[in-house]
Amino acid sequence: MSDAGETSGGKTKPVVYALSRASRCYSCDKKLVPGDITKLEHASEDREVLCQNCAGLDKLEVLLSGNAKVTRLASKYSSVKFTVVRWSALWKTYERVGLLLEPEAIAKARQECGAS
């Protein structure tokens, strides 16, 4: 097992995972499809997958990487911030796909950038 790359400088950053394959929520048994945002709880050997709802992240919205300006502004406005990563089978590593932020922060940032 290699480190998932969640740590840097000895500090753990909050990370959520975009599923790369179908799964089920450990808590509510909801069916999860690839791309769904989940949180992994490391319980001894088994990894418990929690859906966005059970993880308490249902109020948050994913902002995919792509527009650096919007990303920067939105992450500044949002008081809650998670990095969204997805397992890449090709590179055998987690790649960052975006951020999980407050919808209002994303909307505000988009507005200021003139994007919709």
Burial of 86 (C-beta count, 10 Å sphere; 0-12/13-18/19+)? middle
CB atoms within 10 A of CB 111: 12
Name the CA dihedral angle for 26, 29, 34, 39, rounded to a multiple of 10 degrees: -30
The span of 5-13, 34-42, 48-56, 85-93 binding Zn ion (CB under 5 A) equals 48-56
Cα–chain center distance at 85: 6
CB 12 within 8 A of CB 81: no
> Nearest distance from residue 31's CB to Zn ion, in Å?
10
Task: State in angstroms the smallest separation of the CB of 52 from Zn ion.
Answer: 8
64: contact with Zn ion by CB under 5 A: no
Q: Does 54 bind Zn ion (CB under 5 A)?
A: yes
Among 15, 16, 18, 25, binds Zn ion (CB under 5 A): 25
Tell me the β-bridge partners of 39. 50
Q: Closest separation between CB of residue 36 and Zn ion, Å?
A: 10
Least spacing, CB of residue 89 vs Zn ion, in Å: 25
Judged by CB under 5 A, does residue 23 bind Zn ion?
no
Per CB under 5 A, residues contacting Zn ion are: 25, 27-28, 30, 51, 54
